Amino acid sequence: MHRAVLALIMFVLSATPALAQAEFTVAVQDVADRKAVFGTVQSVDVVAARARIGGTVRGLSVDEGSAVSSGQTIATVEDPKLGLQLVAIDARIRSLEAQKKLARVEYDRLSSLRKSGTISQARLDESQTNLNVVTGNHAALSAERAVVAESLAEGAVLAPGDGRVLRVAVTEGSVILPGEAVAFIAAERYVLRIELPERHARFIGTGDEVLVGARGLAVDAGSNVRTGRITQVYPEMSNGRVIADVEVDELGDYFVGERTRVYVATGLRRAIVIPRDFLHQRYGVTYAIVKGEGEIMVQPGQHTGDEVEILAGLKPGDTLLKP
């Protein structure tokens, strides 16, 4: 008997929070008056992969939409003159090496003769100068060869950063000049760029929270919305519009230039907002259960996450019950 009473008491105590959560008191509160605008997916940085030397494009390995990583070779620019210059310099270096070897042998021989007093100091100094000149010419030509070799290596066109190729400006076999763009690459970080009418400029600022609709141009801002944050408001207006960037997660699979709806707060207003769990529909009509009155037909408004605005049918102080 005592066990049965104790079990009944425990059941009542455990059920009390659930009963309390099944009621909701209607009240008027301040809600953000949100305006729907189009946000365009943009890359934070669009950089060009440029040719460092002039020549003919070979080995073009990317196309529009290709994913690239920083330092990846996306094409090679070939200049046949550089190879010929390298061959000519190598031949001159070999010639100077032979001259240097001969000048060293002559200097060593004259040094021995100078010790025995056979030749004058002037003759030895002349040999020393000749050796120094040949050595200097050899060093200068080696440096010149390094410059040509570096120019030859710079024929590789490298991706300046991780991202996706937006546009390829050349084709295989094209002749390009130094500094000409081979491809344009969008960095991996994307933002939504929005434009607001000038009258709403005073309502937005860096750090403000916005709602981002589902992918596509669906009008309903229902439960599929995501939260974003304004990261930059540009100080210059364009055609009477304020431009701002919104940062939101998981934009990497969007197309650059794709549009989606963004809901921006443009002020506050007073409204009744209740959890959507306290509403139910029957034959296309929305009802709420008011304690002591029963079912009341209501007019729902804007949906935001798990809450819905009520335009008509409820008044402050009403206690709602879950259906």
Under the banding of pLDDT at 50, 70 and 90, the label for residue 91 is very high
pLDDT at 89 over 90: yes
> Domain holding 255: CATH number?
2.40.30.170
Do both 238 and 117 map to the same domain?
no
Is 132 found in the same domain as 171? yes
Q: Is 178 in the same domain as 93?
A: yes
DSSP code of 248? -
Q: Is 22 left (phi over 0), alpha (psi -120 to 50) or beta?
A: alpha
Q: Count CA atoms closer than 13 A to 69's CA, side-chain side.
A: 1
Look up the domain containing 202 and give its range: 32-45+189-267
Give the span between the Cα atoms of 289 and 312, in whole angstroms: 14
Same domain, 56 and 149: yes
| C-beta neighbour count of 312 within 10 angstroms | 11
pLDDT in tens, 136-164: 999 999 999 999 999 888 999 999 888 88
Residue range 129-140, pLDDT digits in tens: 999 999 999 999
| Residue 8, in any domain of the structure | no
User: What is the b/e burial string over 271-305, where b = at least 16 CB atoms within 10 angstroms of the residue's CB?
Assistant: bbbbebebbeeeeeebbbbbeeeeeeebebebebe
Domain membership of residue 171 (yes or no) is yes
pTM of the model: 0.55
Q: Are both 174 and 50 inside the same structural domain?
A: yes
Query: What is the rounded distance in angstroms from the CA atom of residue 108 to the CA atom of residue 114?
Result: 10
Instruction: State residue 271 phi and psi, 5-degree precision.
Output: -160, 165
pLDDT tens for residues 257-286? 888 888 888 777 888 888 888 898 888 899
If asked whether residues 225 and 243 sit together in one domain, one would say yes
Are 157 and 50 part of one and the same domain? yes
Cα separation of the two ends of the chain? 36
Query: Does a structural domain hold residue 11?
Result: no
